[in-house]
Amino acid sequence: MTRRTKVRAAMQDRLRRHDIDPTRVNINTRILWEGQSLFDGEDLVVLASGFQLPSQNEKTGDMVQVSYFVRHTPPLEALRSGKDSTVCGDCPLRGDICYVQLEQGVGNTWQSWNDGKVLDAVEADYEYLKSVEVRYGAYGDPASVPFDISSEWHGSVWTGYTHAWRYCDQRYSTLLHASVEDKDGYVLAKTMGWESYRIIEDEDERMDTEVMCLNHTNPEIQCVECGLCSGTSTRARRDIANKVHGTKYKIIRYAFLRGGLLFQVLGPAPSKTFKRLKDETIAAVASFVFDNGGGNTS
């Protein structure tokens, strides 16, 4: 009996014993924890998906996906209102830059919970987590939850990052990589005892002490096989660099952030990628203006 088959059987037995209609339950997801965020004290809920079906994430591979949500506030609404600080802290990538597509899988997971279709995890579920590969932070920052709780949700392979590494429980350095935006952040994180994960725009920005994300160098290598982004607990400790990815719009926004030009189209180009994207943005804006009559001076 495979690990997933075993946990499926446990869920089916649970539904039968409690006379629960399986069509009214999201059997792929569990509630791991509900409580107050360490970031702002507001209520959050932690959900894990992957108990019934393998993850379709091409980069991570088949890993249980752990997400952190603001309770009773849809992710998109939380983003627009600023309430997402409960689970995202002061992450500089919140909003237009973050790679997470809130209106898709993440939003559906939250909606399923809000509709009362997700059950609390039981002992069999926690045992399952300890036997499989886990991705902390499919959405949200793992450091929003007490370390003693979240550190129990993984087996031999896991991945995770935190932007709260400067001020969170420093024991998280054994579990997560510090997500940094520049070399200054990298140096500080290393001084504080963290392994780092740094987004770069061009591969020539990678420092000798960093390893390029293996999935970037070979897309056939998935996180589930690599497992390097797991803090200082593993023997193969590495600082990771990865090229900015996501939609073209998000890449442009990230380039603006890096250049300190979030609301300025014109200005110095801090990298080759920024210059190219800046030029493309200027052309796109100009095209939009003239196509919509903005260039008509009559």
- 138 lies in some domain: yes
234 and 259, same domain (yes or no): no
Statement to judge: residues 199 and 278 lie in one domain: no
- pLDDT for 223-232, tens place per residue? 999 999 999 9
Number of domains composing the chain = 2
- Tens of pLDDT, residue by residue over 124-178, are 999 999 999 999 999 999 999 999 999 999 888 899 999 999 999 999 999 999 9
Task: Verify that 256 and 111 share a domain, yes or no.
Answer: no
The answer to whether residue 196 is domain-embedded is yes
46 close to 31: Cβ distance less than 8 angstroms: yes
Q: Same domain for 12 and 70?
A: yes
Q: Are 239 and 254 members of one domain?
A: no
Same domain, 262 and 173: no
Q: Is the dihedral of CA 259, 260, 266, 268 positive or negative?
A: negative
Residues 227 and 257 in one domain: no
Strand 43-49 and strand 29-36: pairing?
antiparallel
Domain match, 211 and 175 both? yes
For the cut 60, the answer to whether the pLDDT of residue 85 exceeds it is yes
Query: Are 146 and 223 members of one domain?
Result: yes
pLDDT one-digit tens code per residue, 182-203 = 889 999 999 999 999 998 877 8
The overall longest dimension of the chain from CA atoms, in Å, is: 76
Per the domain annotation, does 297 fall within a domain?
no
Are residues 205 and 149 located together in one domain of the fold? yes
**Per-residue pLDDT tens over the stretch 25-71:** 999 999 999 999 999 999 999 999 999 888 888 888 889 999 999 99
Share of the chain above pLDDT 70, in %: 81
- The residue segments making up the domain with residue 286 are 248-291
pTM attached to this predicted model: 0.82
Whether 64 is covered by a domain: the verdict is: yes
Q: What are the φ/ψ torsions at residue 177 (nearest 5 degrees)?
A: -90, 145
Question: How does pLDDT run across 89-107, given as a tens digit for each residue?
Answer: 988 888 767 777 777 788 8
Are the C-beta atoms of residues 188 and 196 closer than 8 Å to each other? no
In this structure, the answer to whether residues 192 and 254 fall within a common structural domain is no
